[in-house]
Chain A
Amino acid sequence: MPVYTLANRGASNAASNQKIADAIADIHCDTTGAPPEFVNVLFMDNHPLKGGATLSVTGNVRSGGNRNQELTNTLRENLRNGIAHAAGLPNSKVTIELIGFPASWGMEGGEILPEPGEEAEWLNRS
């Protein structure tokens, strides 16, 4: 967690996908303080998107902890700018939806996910 799914109006390619995935990991970690090990990005092709969008991003992210509305808004805006830049698209062609859910509902590494902001202790667990 997070899991970002990107629906592409056309066909994507691995090199471009890697560039966009790198941008998402950079932005998510820089903005939220989460470690990159958590960041998953997957791409889906040939989706007829509404509103003339070329790339539509849905991010399933942990809510609570240190994530207030201001941070969520900043994350959304940073993602839109960064993904558009990495994809070579105008910002207006990229849509973003962030969906939050409690960390306690998810598990990675065989352990319940940490609250946002408590990742360091979780990663250093024995």
Chain B
Amino acid sequence: MKKALVMIQSGQFSVDQQTELETVIRTAYREHVSPETLTVIWSAVGTGKFFTNYAPSQTSIVSAECDNGFPQAQRVAYLKALASSWSSITGQHLDSLMLALVDTDQFKVIADSTLRRLSLLGRVRFAVHVAKNLLLAKLRRQPLSFSPDL
């Protein structure tokens, strides 16, 4: 099962928008990358904690994993399709949207970077924090989402 990680500002989008965005992420992925199930995990960053170009950021970041050695033409097609669909839903300028489709080995290095810097206790706390929030999201039938703060 492949994963997509989405980083947004807290309160930037409604739950309905997130649900719609999740649909377009999966659709673009299925059409251009793989029929494999894609798990989408959202992380909402609080006010005063995200900066771009020296100023508070309005940027959203969507990174997904693909097979190693994935063809570049298909990668570009996926990224362009997602950029177009995302901006039509959110009205966001494309300059405020960062997308990446990352080979799975490198995706794991990036995704695990948070765990690598934590103490053993920190890793346990992080795992519980993520599991609790993901469980709550499932129970509420909402997008899987958690705060990056512990």
Q: Interface on A for B, CB 8 Å cutoff?
A: 1, 3, 5, 7, 12-14, 17-18, 21-22, 25, 36-50, 53, 56, 58, 60, 95, 97, 99, 101, 104-110, 112
Main secondary structure of the interface of B (DSSP, over half): mixed
Within 8 Å CB of A43, what residues of B? 45, 49-50
State whether B7 touches A42 (Cβ < 8 A). Answer: yes
Q: Does B95 make an interface contact (CB < 8 A)?
A: yes
Contact partner of A97 among B75, B116, B121, CB < 8 A?
A: B116
From known contacts A40-B52, A107-B100, infer whether A112 and B113 are also in contact, taking CB-CB under 8 Å: no
Residue of A nearest to B72 (CB): A104
Binary A-proximity of B56-80 (CB < 8 A = 1, otherwise 0): 0101010000000000100110011
Contact partner of B98 among A5, A50, A108, CB < 8 A?
A: A108
Most A CB within 10 A of own CB, among B50, B102, B125, B126: B50
* A-contacting 9-mer, from B15-23, B27-35, B103-111, B137-145: B103-111
Q: Does B25 make an interface contact (CB < 8 A)?
A: no
Q: Interface on B for A, CB 8 Å cutoff?
A: 7, 45, 47-54, 57, 59, 61, 72, 75-76, 79-80, 83-84, 94-95, 97-103, 106, 109-110, 113-114, 116-122, 125-126, 148-150
Shortest A51–chain B CB gap in Å is: 8
- Extra contacts besides A14-B48, A40-B51, A50-B117 (14): CB < 8 Å: A3-B98, A17-B51, A37-B53, A39-B53, A41-B50, A41-B52, A42-B50, A47-B114, A48-B118, A48-B122, A58-B114, A104-B72, A106-B98, A110-B97
Contact partner of B118 among A21, A36, A39, A49, CB < 8 A?
A: A49
Q: How many A-B residue pairs have CB under 8 A?
A: 134
Contact partner of A95 among B53, B75, B117, B121, CB < 8 A?
A: B117
Shortest A82–chain B CB gap in Å is: 14
State whether B45 touches A105 (Cβ < 8 A). Answer: no
Residue of A nearest to B52 (CB): A40
State whether B53 touches A105 (Cβ < 8 A). Answer: no
Within 8 Å CB of A105, what residues of B? 75, 100-103
Contact partner of B149 among A17, A21, A46, CB < 8 A?
A: A46
From known contacts A107-B99, A109-B94, infer whether A40 and B59 are also in contact, taking CB-CB under 8 Å: yes
State whether A101 touches B106 (Cβ < 8 A). Answer: yes
Shortest A102–chain B CB gap in Å is: 9
Within 8 Å CB of B80, what residues of A? 107, 110
State whether A44 touches B148 (Cβ < 8 A). Answer: yes
A-B contact pairs, 15 of them (CB 8 A): A7-B117, A21-B54, A40-B98, A41-B52, A42-B7, A42-B45, A42-B148, A43-B49, A48-B121, A50-B117, A97-B113, A99-B113, A107-B99, A109-B94, A110-B84
